[in-house]
C-alpha cells in the first residue's frame, strides 16, 4: 500500500513540475495575394460605369459594338457630359443618318493599338478607324486630342484601353451644321 501511495505522490510531484513551463514566443506570418482580373473587353470595362451610357448606346445604334470587343483597341470615350453639350436635335438627326453616325463614332476608335495615356502623350497623331488622323498635343501634363482633353486615363481591359475625353470629336469632313435638320 505504501508503494502505491508513494507512487501517487511521486506522480503528482512530477506532474506539477511538468506543468510549469517557460513562456514561448510563436511568430505567425500571413501572406495575402490580391489578384485583379481585368474585364475581358473595353466594352465590359466602360459599361461598369453609367457615365459612358451615351457612347455605348450610339456605338450600338451605329452597329459598331464589334469595335469595342476587337483585339487591341483604344477608345476615346466621351462621357455623358460631353454628349450633353450636343443639342438633342443633332443627336436625333445622327440617329437617322447611319453613315454620319458611323463616321463620328469610328473617329473615336483607334484600332489595332492598345495605347496608354503615356503612349498617346508621346504621339503627335493617332489614326482612327476611318483612316483620319487626330492631332495630339501635350501641354503642362494635359493631353489634348484636338478639341478634347483626356479627363480619365487608362481604363484597362484585356483587349485594350479606354481614355475618357471631355468632348465629342468630329472627323474633319463632318460638322454639327451638316447634321441639323432644316425644316421648310
Model-level pTM? 0.75
pLDDT at 49: 81
Return d(Cα 76, Cα 152) in angstroms, integer: 10
170 CB neighbour count, 10 Å cutoff: 17
Query: DSSP code of 183?
Result: P
CB 171, CB 107: distance < 8 Å: yes
pLDDT at 32: 65
* Cell numbers for 157: 481591359
pLDDT at 20: 52
pLDDT at 34: 62
* Cell numbers for 59: 456605338
* Cell numbers for 173: 469632313
pLDDT at 23: 61
Per-residue confidence in pLDDT tens, the chain, 184 aa: 444 344 444 444 444 444 455 666 666 666 666 667 888 899 999 988 889 999 999 999 999 999 888 989 999 999 999 999 999 999 999 999 999 999 999 999 999 999 999 999 999 999 999 999 999 999 999 999 999 999 999 999 999 999 999 999 999 887 655 444 333 3
pLDDT at 117: 97
Amino acid at each position: 500500500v505504501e508503494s502505491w501511495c508513494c507512487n501517487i505522490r511521486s506522480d503528482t510531484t512530477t506532474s506539477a513540475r511538468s506543468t510549469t513551463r517557460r513562456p514561448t514566443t510563436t511568430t505567425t506570418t500571413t501572406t495575402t495575394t490580391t489578384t485583379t482580373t481585368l474585364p475581358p473587353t473595353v466594352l465590359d470595362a466602360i459599361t461598369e460605369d453609367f457615365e459612358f451610357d451615351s457612347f455605348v448606346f450610339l456605338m450600338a445604334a451605329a452597329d459598331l459594338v464589334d469595335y469595342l470587343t476587337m483585339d487591341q483597341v483604344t477608345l476615346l470615350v466621351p462621357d455623358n457630359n460631353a454628349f450633353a453639350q450636343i443639342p438633342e436635335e443633332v443627336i436625333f438627326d445622327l440617329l437617322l443618318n447611319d453613315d454620319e453616325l458611323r463616321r463620328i463614332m469610328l473617329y473615336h476608335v483607334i484600332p489595332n493599338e492598345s495605347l496608354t495615356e503615356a503612349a498617346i502623350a508621346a504621339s503627335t497623331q493617332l489614326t482612327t478607324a476611318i483612316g483620319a488622323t487626330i492631332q495630339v498635343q501635350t501641354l503642362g501634363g494635359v493631353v489634348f486630342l484636338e478639341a478634347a482633353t483626356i479627363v480619365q486615363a487608362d481604363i484597362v481591359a484585356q483587349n485594350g484601353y479606354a481614355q475618357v475625353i471631355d468632348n465629342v470629336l468630329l472627323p474633319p469632313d463632318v460638322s454639327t451644321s451638316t447634321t441639323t435638320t432644316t425644316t421648310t
